[in-house]
Structure 1
Amino acid sequence: MRFKVLLIDDEPGALEGMQLWIDWEKLGFEVCGTCTNGAEGLKAMAELSPDLVVTDVNMPLMSGLEMIEEWRKSGNKNISFAIISGYSEFEYARKAMRYGITHYLLKPVEPEEAAGELRKIYSELLHEEEERQWSEMALVEEQVFLIRQLLEDSPGSEREYPDNLITLSAGREAWNICLIQTEPTMYAELRGAAAALISQEQAMFLIDLAMNRLGIVFGYSPDQGQADGVCQVLAKLAARYTGQRAAAAIGAPEESLLHLANCYKTAEEALKFKFYDPEYTGVISYASIEDRHFQYHYDPTRLVDNAMEALTLLNAAGYRETVTAEAELFRELLLAPEIVKKAIYHLMYKMKEHMEDSLGKKASDALAKWDFSALADSALGLNELLALLLSLGEECIDLLSEEQELKSQGIVQEINEYIREHYRERLTIKKLAKHFYLHPVYLGQLLMKKNGVGFNEWVHNLRIEEASRLLLENKLRNSEIAEQVGYVNYSQFLKQFEKRMGMSPGEYKGRN
């Protein structure tokens, strides 16, 4: 750490010598200015705010001791002093001790002797600075503790407040709070950046509110606009975290810090509107949304039922259509974010249960990356939740489809054997689906993929194949054969036979 030093002496040679022969930088100091008398010194101290003043005591216009006495009376910043005097001026040194000045350099100033004394002074200044910093930190911690308690006040609270809190409140004409919400994983980094920026500001306090939310409480003068200090802090944070999940909102201001709970309540309300904002940049104020109101009545049954039906039927397009349409309804109704999140989380858990019931451990392993419990504390907006829900649905349908594919490899063989045994009957795709507990559409797709033809074509092929065999035996009439293979209508049999064999049953029998 480096301290500022002001040099005062009416002899130009003495001033030059102190600057040239003492290695101030090595000793932890930097010379911020020089003066030739006490009157100039008072003015320079007020302007330059040095930590140490090294001054001659015997100077025209105003002596060094007179200057020190005047400075101490003014009540300005506490500055350390070291006086320079000769052997013949012992009375000055004795008087200086009455002012609490213990550092004394003899003229002419010897560099080594001065260095030793300045090292002592540096050590004292460093100790004082550390104590000052600890004292300031303790004061801020106490203020932060008291401010956090204010956030818990109920409207119209009339409890007793500590004097130091009342004094702090009176120091500014208006107070407000800015809430910043981010992801739990980003919180520590963002908080550190905010704390570093706030440390340079006056009447501004960082309040930890939750694992992913912090508050910046600030006082300001309304005639200077909406708190230039906090605006600069937020602008720097926004530039650093552009495009990341960090939403900020400012409440309605209050004239007294003691009414901070009202600021907090309105900032929370404003922050909710960021849920429908696809961008995370910028700060939303309560003044911009106070006339808008959320809807809190919503029945999630339709969303859950329709989405689960699409999932069960492996209908990816239907699932996407259901979820997207419901999201548009959320925007249209301006449904409260907590209600939207509750509905979406409910659907996600339903999907998870269905997957675990259908796939067991395989589903648990596949869905392990989806931390549903962490979503409640996330800063996700509607667009991101929608994308998450769509992605989850697509993955679930893919997993279920893969499982169906594996199972179908065995069941298709069983279905085909059943068709071979019952094709003579009035067999339909619906009856077959009911028998094997499958959806008719899915069953039709399954048979097409395995056999290369649709269900009806497959049944006709089997019937005509059997009819051809019976025709060659020449034991039954053609109409009897048609009926035996499953055709009630002979014309339909004739049509299907000619289509496949390229000739009539009679011609087939004659040729063979």
Structure 2
Amino acid sequence: MYKVLLVDDEPFAIEGLELLIDWEKRGFRVEGACGNGEEAIRRIRLDPPDLVVTDIRMPVLDGFELIEGTRRMGNDSTLFVIASGYDDFEYARRAMRLGVTHYLTKPVVSEEADELLGRLENELRERERRLLIRHSADRYAASHALSVLLFGGEDSERREALRTLSPLAEQAFAWAYLHVGTDEEGLGAVREAALGMAEELECCHLIDCDRGAFGLVLGLKRSDREEIQIFANRLLPALQEATPGRIGVAAGRVVERLDDLSVSYRSAAEAERFLFFGTGQVIHYEDIRGKTLSSDPGALKAADAIVEAVENGRPDELEAAVREAFRTFEARMTLPELVGIFCTQVVLRCASVYKELGGDPNELIKEAGLDDGVPPGRHLRESAESLTRFCLKCQSAAFRLRDRRTGGTPAKVADFLRRNYTASFTIKEIAERFYINPVYLGQSFSRKYGMGILDYIHDLRIEEAKRRLRETDDASYTIAESVGYRGYQHFLKQFEKRLGMKPADYRLLSSP
């Protein structure tokens, strides 16, 4: 709603303006009324309205003097309408010299007033549109000039950028660059949220960077990090509302000249690397100044344990190997680039194992979403989770291929056990008999039969014990020894585990 101030020394005239005109119909609201020009000047200075409807002849300060005083204050935006019953050409000529072209005759006619308000509404809307266009153009020009100072340019480009930014340079004592990182899928929404917040402030501009990232140039009233922290504490919740994904903000060094913004940008990029290790959602360059990241290539040796687990380990052993590698990266603060190289190395070596078993490594990599390469990961945890998912997928696929290559080894093992369940074997001994890795044998057997080899042997023994209890009068301990148990208590435990009763009770219930 546009704000309206009524000015007239006659109370009845003001009352008539309030009652006879439908202000809200045209988007106006009467905010107050004054009895003379001097009172109105004071009010306009404190809270400039969009429109003033004033009488001409008033004590202390007349309508023309009110308009002249308002313009001398530097207020060129408030519109004026003269409401007068005097039809005098001299009044009209003087009003035109002051830029006033709108009149209301007294007594006020509602239709005439409504028509005038319609024209004023259009004028104000058009002015707002032009101001918005100019404001947007100014902010775009400022953002482009800031980009030149941040990312570099020719000397002539920098000089032109500084000329463009000269009005902005006077609005702040110091400057800082804040880099914003987020997940790719949430980037658009996060950028819009940050842009909305930047446009609320005179000294804050959003800057698009390469790789789809962006940052904010923030003007400061003093040269310290406290103001940056206050801004970041407002910014972070706004960005978190825009996406469920991860948000990270890295603040660079505070600089006192716009021409030094590249220093703030480079230090923010340096600080951002430490967000990779989960040191917080907001990090300041001052917090990591002097710290270094490890470039020791020895960390890459952890790939051997992971690939070995993919080939011969259990899923939990594989996950543990990946966790251990990434714990080391975190403890040593290993360079994110080196972690990326490590992940790529593991993926390629696992793909090679899969290829040796007769699989299509390209298909495996594509299914894992890695056909465009290993994503660098904006966080150590994300990299670990991505690598774990791929390795588990590769391990499972490799086991299935090995099953087919061995011609159904688990079935052969099951047949062997059915014929030899009374004998004592370790899983290692069974694996050696069938020329297969014992860990792989255990996993493939469990997948096929839904239980481990030892449980399968116990089931066979207990089934035979049940038959002997039903069909013979042999003592329970004799039956236990005959089906392969060296100790009666072990037999009793396995029997009760499967049937929920003792052998004697089973015999009693099974007797005719």
Name the TM-score class by shorter chain.
Answer: 0.7 to 0.9
SS in 2 for 1:373: coil
Deviation at 1:341, TM superposition (A): 2.1
Aligned: 1:216 with 2:208? no
Which deviations, in whole Å up to 9, do the C-alpha atoms of 1:83-138 show, x marking residues without a partner? 11123443212210112211111111111101101111111111111001000000
- Structure 1 Cα separation of the partners of residues 242 and 138 of structure 2: 30
Partner of 1:408: 406
1:376 aligns with 2:375: yes
Alignment of 1:229-378 (within 5 A): 230-231=231-232, 233-237=234-238, 240=241, 244-277=245-278, 282-299=281-298, 301-356=300-355, 358=357, 360=359, 364=363, 368-371=367-370, 373=372, 376=375, 378=377
Report the counterpart of residue 195 of structure 1 in structure 2.
195
- Match in the other structure for 1:386: 384
CA contact (8 A) 1:314 1:401 kept: no
Q: Deviations over 1:340-360 (max 9, x none)?
A: 122123322432454355353
CA distance in 2 between partners of 1:369 and 1:29 (Å): 61
CA drift of 1:436 comes to 8.7
1:440 CA displacement: 6.9
Alpha-carbon RMSD across the aligned residues, in angstroms, is 3.8
CA distance in 1, matches of 2:271, 2:277: 11
**1:370 positional shift:** 2.9
How many residues align? The count is 443
C-alpha distance in structure 2 between counterparts of 1:362 and 1:259, whole Å: 49
Q: 1:248 to 1:430 in 2, by over 3 A?
A: closer
Task: Report the 3-state secondary structure (helix = DSSP H, G, I; strand = E; otherwise coil) of the residue aligned with 1:276.
Answer: coil
* Aligned counterparts of 1:345 and 1:89: Cα–Cα separation in 2: 88
Measure the CA separation in 1 of the matches of 2:156 and 2:374.
Answer: 34
CA shift in 2, pair 1:234/1:36, >3 Å: same
* Equivalent in 389, 393, 396 of residue 395 of structure 1: 393
**Distance in structure 1 (CA, Å) of the matches to 2:62 and 2:267:** 60
Contact 1:201-1:229 within 8 A present in 2 as well: no
Structure 1 gap ranges (5+): 418-428, 455-498, 501-512
Consecutive unaligned residues of structure 2, counting only runs of 5 or more, are: 416-426, 455-482, 485-512
Once residues 195 and 302 of structure 1 are traced to their aligned partners in structure 2, the CA distance between those partners, rounded to angstroms, is 44
387-396 vs 94-103, greater mean Cα deviation: 387-396
Aligned-partner SS, 1:148:
helix
Structure 1 length normalisation: TM-score? 0.76
Change beyond 3 A, Cα 1:363–1:400: farther
Amino acid at match of 1:191: R
Q: Which amino acid counterpart does residue 57 of structure 2 have in structure 1? A: N
CA deviations 1:165-217 (Å, max 9, x no partner) are 23322321000011110011001111111112222112110111144421111
CA contact (8 A) 1:174 1:254 kept: yes
Does 164-173 or 226-235 show the bigger shift? Answer: 226-235
Secondary structure in 2 matching 1:87: coil
Distance 1:234 1:370 in 2: 32
Structure 2: how far apart are the matches of 1:44 and 1:367?
A: 70
How far apart, in 2, do the equivalents of 1:29 and 1:195 lie?
30
Please name the residue that 1:469 is paired with. none
- Per the TM alignment, residue 244 of structure 1 is displaced from its structure 2 partner at its CA by 3.1
User: Alpha-carbon deviation of 1:238?
Assistant: 5.4
Provide the secondary structure at the position in 2 that maps to 1:180.
strand
Aligned 8 A contact 2:271 2:285 in 1 = yes
When residues 12 and 371 of structure 1 are mapped into structure 2, their CA distance, relative to the original with a 3 A threshold, is farther
Is 2:4–2:53's contact at 8 Å kept on the other side of the alignment? yes
- Structure 1 distance, partners of 2:304, 2:13, is 92
Q: Distance in 2 between matches of 1:104 and 1:430?
A: 104
Q: Measure the CA separation in 2 of the matches of 1:9 and 1:104.
A: 14
SS at match of 2:227: coil
The answer on whether the counterparts of 1:278 and 1:383 sit within 8 Å (CA) in structure 2 is: no
8 Å Cα contact 2:250/2:282 also seen in 1: yes
Deviation, structure 1 residue 231: 3.7
Q: Tell me the residue number matched to 1:17.
A: 16
Q: What is the CA distance between 1:27 and its match in structure 2?
A: 0.9
Shift of 1:403: 2.9
Q: Which stretch shifts more, 123-132 or 319-328?
A: 319-328
CA distance in 1, matches of 2:361, 2:321: 26
Q: Distance in 2 between matches of 1:350 and 1:410?
A: 26
List per-residue Cα deviations over 1:474-499 (Å, max 9, x = no partner): xxxxxxxxxxxxxxxxxxxxxxxxx9
Q: Secondary structure at the match of 1:296?
A: coil
Paired letter, 2:180: I
User: Structure 1's 267 and 97: CA in aligned 2 closer, same or farther, altered over 3 A?
Assistant: same
Partner Cα distance (2:410, 2:236) in 1: 64
* One-letter code aligned to 1:42: I
What is the deviation of 1:14?
A: 1.0
Residue 458 of structure 1: aligned partner: none
Cα deviation, residue 323, structure 1: 2.0
The structure with the largest alpha-carbon Rg is 1
After superposition, the Cα gap between the structure-2 partners of 1:131 and 1:413, relative to the gap in structure 1 and judged at 3 Å, is closer
Q: Which amino acid aligns with 1:245?
A: R
Q: Which residue of 1 aligns with 2:170?
A: 170
SS at match of 1:226: helix
Give the match for residue 146 of structure 1.
145
**SS of 2:5 mapped into structure 1:** strand
Paired position in structure 2 for 1:38: 37
- Contact 1:219-1:227 at 8 Å conserved across structures: no
Instruction: Please tell me the residue identity of whatever aligns with 2:42.
Output: K
C-alpha distance in structure 1 between counterparts of 2:86 and 2:403, whole Å? 105
